[in-house]
Amino acid sequence: MSTHTHRVGTDTSVLADCLEVPGIGFIPVNAFVLLARQPVVVDTGLGLPDRDFLARLGEVMDPADVRWIWLTHPDRDHTGGLFALLEAAPRARVVTTFLGAGEMSTECPLPLDRVHLLNPGRRLDVGDRTLYAFRPPLFDNPATVGFYDERTRTCFSSDCFGAPLPTPELATGADVGAVAAADLRGAQLLWATVDSPWVHVADPAKYLANVKALEALDPDVVLSTHLPPASGVTATLLDTIARAPDADPFVGPDQAALEQMLAGFQPGGPPQP
């Protein structure tokens, strides 16, 4: 396990983690803490047995003081510490959509009195700033809602802009600038085709309109669940994802490839039918 905590600006912390995907690389898996007047936790990390989200959050702030848990979408790499945090933070409410709350209820129902439904295009007042909710151009779950912090000009983009990286050190790093530009572009286009395969069949004009809408917000900082913090490179990131529809579609490993992988990990080779 490789985890690190980074500060971005004066009031945002990145709880960085990663997962290795054989044949792909190390996928960053970040959660964030926005120390607004009403503190906001953005996603709650992985739910693997060796992760303790509350302990990691406690390095940044007292979990009891959390007021909002912005769930960018209810996939398992975003919800690992959610229910533990709800118990530890009695005043916290989960910001999600109607669909997001419904998806969560298929595993462990969210208490509805602790849900705050917020749709793209709306704003959330967190005491000293407002957070503008938007649908990122790329996403793998229809409940996805990121947000733009209008005070710090920081974009929290959920899965959008993600990239598998070659080492855990790069995947959990403090600045995406440590990744060579050409390598980053290739990794982001790979991620786009893996995570959002619909981009190849979407209407190109409508897709690019969503990219332009994010460009109009003009964020200084982009924080993605699956990318190290990115400051001052928004134009480059947007240019990359604008090319996603024309990237080669991703074709995953088949059974023969899986058996080759298993043979590499098991001295006796893959199980025989």
pTM of the entire predicted model: 0.94
Instruction: Please give the pLDDT value at position 257.
Output: 87
d(CA 73, CA 144): 5
Using one digit for the tens of pLDDT, what is the confidence trace for 196-215?
Answer: 999 999 999 999 999 999 99
Mean pLDDT of 221-241: 98
Could you tell me the CATH number of the domain that includes residue 101? 3.60.15.10
Using the predicted structure, report yes or no on whether residue 264 has a pLDDT greater than 80. Answer: no
Please determine, for residue 266, whether its predicted confidence score (pLDDT) is greater than 80: no
Mean pLDDT of 243-257: 94
Spatial distance between the Cα atoms of 249 and 260, rounded to a whole number of angstroms: 23
36 lies in some domain: yes
**Mean of pLDDT values over 90-108:** 94
pLDDT of 23 reads 83
Using the CB atoms, write b or e for 86-112: b if 16+ within 10 Å.
bebbeebbbbbbebbbebbeeeeebee
Instruction: State which amino acid sits at residue 155.
Output: C
pLDDT (0 to 100) of residue 261:
81
Range of the domain at 87: 4-108+141-265
pLDDT of residue 81: 96
- For the chain, give the percent of residues with pLDDT over 90: 89
Helices 234-242 and 204-217, axial angle in degrees (round to 10): 170
Q: Does residue 130 form part of some domain?
A: no
Mean pLDDT (whole number) for 5-12: 95
Query: What is the count of structural domains for the chain?
Result: 1
Mean pLDDT of the chain: 94
- The answer, yes or no, to whether residue 262 has pLDDT greater than 80, is yes
Query: How many whole angstroms separate alpha carbon 178 and alpha carbon 23?
Result: 22
- Cβ(91)–Cβ(5) under 8 Å? no
| Predicted local distance difference test score (pLDDT) of residue 219 | 98
Tokens at 195, concatenated: 């995570």
- The average pLDDT across 74-101 equals 97
How much is the pLDDT for 108? Answer: 85
Block residue for tokens 């920081």: 154
Residue 179 counted as domain residue: yes
Res 194 pLDDT > 70: yes
In the beta sheet, which residues pair with residue 130?
125
List, for residues 126-152, the tens digit of each pLDDT value: 999 999 999 999 999 999 999 999 999
d(CA 54, CA 85): 7
Q: Is residue 20 part of a domain?
A: yes
Q: Please report whether residue 122 resides in a domain.
A: no
* pLDDT at residue 1, rounded to an integer: 67
Q: Is 210 in contact with 137 (CB distance < 8 Å)?
A: yes
**166 close to 152: Cβ distance less than 8 angstroms:** no
- pLDDT the model gives residue 270: 45
Residue 247 within a domain: yes
